[in-house]
Amino acid sequence: MSSSPLQIVILAAGQGKRMRSSLPKVLQPLGGQPLIRHVLAVAETLLRDAGSAARPVLVYGHGGDQLQAALADADCRWSHQTSQRGTGDALASALPQLTPDGRVLVLCSDVPLLRTQTLRTLLQVPDGTLGILTAILDDPTGYGRMLRDAQGHVQAIVEQRDATAEQLALHEVNTGTLLIPAGRLAGWLGQLKADNAQGEWYLTDIVAMAVADGVPVVGVPAAAEAEIMGINDRAQLARCEREFQRRQAQRLLLEGVTLRDPARLDVRGDVTVGRDVEIDVNVILEGHVALADGVRVGAHCILRDAVIEAGARIEPFSLVDGARVGPGAVVGPYARLRPGTQLAADVHVGNFVEVKNSRLAPGAKANHLSYLGDADVGARVNIGAGTITCNYDGANKHRTVIGDDAFIGSNSSLVAPVSIGAGATIGAGSVISRDAPAGGLTVTRAPQKSLPGWQRPRKKTGQ
């Protein structure tokens, strides 16, 4: 990479009418993140590689308030394109934040799949050269065509609406990514005219200006067509999503993960994995997910901001959200772990069990049809089917504390705040609203009665 100073401008002012959405196009999600986040991440990496302290400049127009709110934590500079008069006008709006030193890399916010390595190749062009990232497409519809002379030298770029039939037959296209000598930029932008089919200032017109000024122009081909896919409508967004997910699956496969079907996995965040991890079909991984050695994730599970420790199993149709699952633990099938849940080693949380903001100590079990909210459950505790912690009094949340080795009988209600002593047994069907002593049996059942001769009501004849 050249030692010449690098500056980056990201064009994000387009309205995106074809998305048919109140959300600006660049905020549409790809892999769980707005499109613009993917482009910003690449820009930040390139600037860091170049040792540049300059922050990327983001040119915005439509939906500026939404965009700035969504990127409030982004380390970038903002430039407002007050009137959308084309890509040349967009870059011109960023000029006050640029210096005439080095090179300016122009990226498009709706081209989110460009790899860092491809852009590093573009940055290898010599200083003082105008570099263009190009691609050869079977179907170049919608792209500007690269015009070359008989010797193969780039002469200009013609946009599709302004192209002749002969030019439209060309298959080499401009991807919208340009590397421009910074010292030339202001002069070239000042010469732009809107004498074209769209009445806009085309940034691509600077290519012919560079040729006229004797500035070398080099086309650098993208490594793969998928990298340069632009997004203008929902169909294109869906195609990019599939390519993004294919990349995520490929990365996990190369890291040693067994994917039962790589085409049926969605990664919408950051995933770290240990050895011998297995993931079944239709699993969604969102946010920050860590899967340790030997973890198995069953079909149709959703893991969001979750840590799954070594040897744990997440059985099919389970949701783990903001929770930590200890080593050797088993969750599901059909279980839900909500934020704040921590399962220690060898805990079992079975089918149709919901756990929220609770800690379950080693060996505790809640195998079916229970709700544990705001609870501290001791080691080796058994939670019977149908048990609930009544943690909410209509205004405030309260905690339930269950000591080690306690046994909670089926269909029990523990009304918090309440403590169950170590080794205590709660009889099935009990409603416990006062502390239960350690080691004893606590029961709150009403006496059982049978009424001889009682008959069930019957419908009257004719009803």
171 in active site: no
pLDDT digits (tens, 9 = 90+) for 5-34: 999 999 998 777 888 888 999 999 999 999
Identify whether the C-beta of residue 38 lies closer than 8 Å to the C-beta of residue 112. Answer: yes
Closest listed residue to residue 360, CA positions, set 326, 311, 333, 384? 326
Percentage of the chain with pLDDT > 90?
88
Q: What is the mean pLDDT of residues 254-276?
A: 98
Residue 234 has pLDDT above 60, yes or no: yes
pLDDT of residue 179: 98
Average pLDDT of the chain to the nearest whole number: 95
Q: What is the mean pLDDT of residues 256-263?
A: 98
pLDDT digits (tens, 9 = 90+) for 138-186: 999 989 999 999 999 999 999 999 999 999 999 999 999 999 999 999 9
pLDDT band at 446 (very low <50, low <70, confident <90, very high): confident
CA distance 400 to 402: 7
pLDDT of residue 460: 82
38, 153, 368, 398: which is the annotated catalytic residue?
368
pLDDT digits (tens, 9 = 90+) for 390-429: 999 999 999 999 999 999 999 999 999 999 999 999 999 9
Task: Specify the amino acid at residue 442.
Answer: T
Closest listed residue to residue 355, CA positions, set 342, 307, 418? 342
Percentage of the chain with pLDDT > 70?
99
Q: What is the mean pLDDT of residues 384-393?
A: 96
pLDDT of residue 12: 92
Closest listed residue to residue 261, CA positions, set 244, 282, 245? 282
CA distance 164 to 31: 38
pLDDT of residue 2: 64
Domain 6-228, CATH: 3.90.550.10
pLDDT of residue 445: 86
- DSSP H helix total and E strand total for the chain: 8, 39
Q: CB under 8 Å to 412, separation ≥6 — which residues?
A: 384, 386, 387, 388, 426, 427, 428, 429, 430, 431, 432
Strand segments, DSSP code E, in 330-399 are 330-331, 336-337, 342-343, 348-351, 354-356, 359-360, 365-368, 371-373, 375-377, 382-383, 388-390
In the chain, residues under CATH classification 2.160.10.10 are: 234-442
pLDDT digits (tens, 9 = 90+) for 192-230: 998 888 888 999 999 999 999 999 999 999 989 999 999
- First-residue to last-residue Cα distance in the chain: 88
Considering the segment(s) 234-442 as one domain, its CATH architecture is 3 Solenoid (2.160)
Residue 3 has pLDDT above 70, yes or no: no
CA distance 164 to 145: 10
Closest listed residue to residue 95, CA positions, set 218, 254, 201? 201
Residue 1 has pLDDT above 70, yes or no: no
323: its two tokens: 């929770």
pLDDT of residue 371: 98
pLDDT digits (tens, 9 = 90+) for 302-354: 999 999 999 999 999 999 999 999 999 999 999 999 999 999 999 999 999 99
pLDDT of residue 463: 60
Q: What is the mean pLDDT of residues 431-437?
A: 97
CA distance 58 to 24: 14
pLDDT of residue 92: 95
Backbone dihedral angles phi then psi of residue 38, each to the nearest 5 degrees: -65, -45
In the chain, residues under CATH classification 3.90.550.10 are: 6-228
pLDDT of residue 61: 87
CA distance 129 to 132: 10
